[in-house]
Chain A
Amino acid sequence: QQQVKQSPQSLIVQKGGISIINCAYENTAFDYFPWYQQFPGKGPALLIAIRPDVSEKKEGRFTISFNKSAKQFSLHIMDSQPGDSATYFCAASRRSGNTGKLIFGQGTTLQVKP
């Protein structure tokens, strides 16, 4: 119930294309769903996050789509650029339990070809 499942494990996209990464969860108590971007040798950096009362959130080229009934959410990267090549992690956390700990997916390595 605490797991977040992420797919695909790796993704290759041409420059200008759309990158799509999917995540699924089981615990309906989760109420915060961030996406992190990580470059080699660096810590994860927050990209964008969504709450379950919203079905979509867009920030620049990055969009989160959220399907509460299916317990799934996805990251779309529009007009993908070589500089977007990185590892992306979805995560989830829940309000209760006196902790904001994040449960992470296994990560997706994105390569954007020029």
Chain B
Amino acid sequence: GAGVSQSPSNKVTEKGKDVELRCDPISGHTALYWYRQRLGQGLEFLIYFQGNSAPDKSGLPSDRFSAERTGESVSTLTIQRTQQEDSAVYLCASSLLWTSNQPQHFGDGTRLSIL
């Protein structure tokens, strides 16, 4: 597609429920990143995929968070037993290669609200 696509754009769920967030990167981009943006804050790195492997998971805040990528394309970020502090915008980005000078292209995010 023309850009990075994320779904759903908004998700409201009750505390304790599991949620899945989806990212469709730009076709042909080998690197995929997930970031979290709390209200009025900068972006926090969560996890990075090179192909279908995740060499850097250092930003995942707890074992309730997991992610996978399949077919070197779509990625899913799963949050189990959601807590109110998980409320944020979850952003996905992709780049052609993983190297540091490759532009990362962002989707518009999924706004997650935990009641």
Contact = CB atoms under 8 A, between A and B. Distances in A.
Interface stretch (A65-73, A77-85, A87-95): A87-95
Interface stretch (B14-22, B39-47, B60-68, B79-87): B39-47
A24 to B, nearest CB: 14
Interface in B36-63: 40-45, 48, 50, 55-56, 59
Given A31-B101, A51-B101, A93-B100, A101 B43 contact: no
B105 to A, nearest CB: 7
A100 B48 contact: yes
A97 interface: yes
18 contacts: A32-B100, A36-B106, A43-B4, A43-B106, A45-B106, A46-B105, A89-B43, A91-B43, A95-B99, A98-B98, A99-B98, A100-B102, A101-B59, A102-B35, A102-B104, A104-B43, A107-B40, A107-B42
Contacts of A103: 45
Interface residues of B, number: 31
A100 B42 contact: no
Contacts of B35: 102, 104
Interface string A100-114: 111111110000000
B56 A102 contact: no
Nearest to A92: B100
A102 B43 contact: yes
Interface in A20-40: 31-32, 34, 36
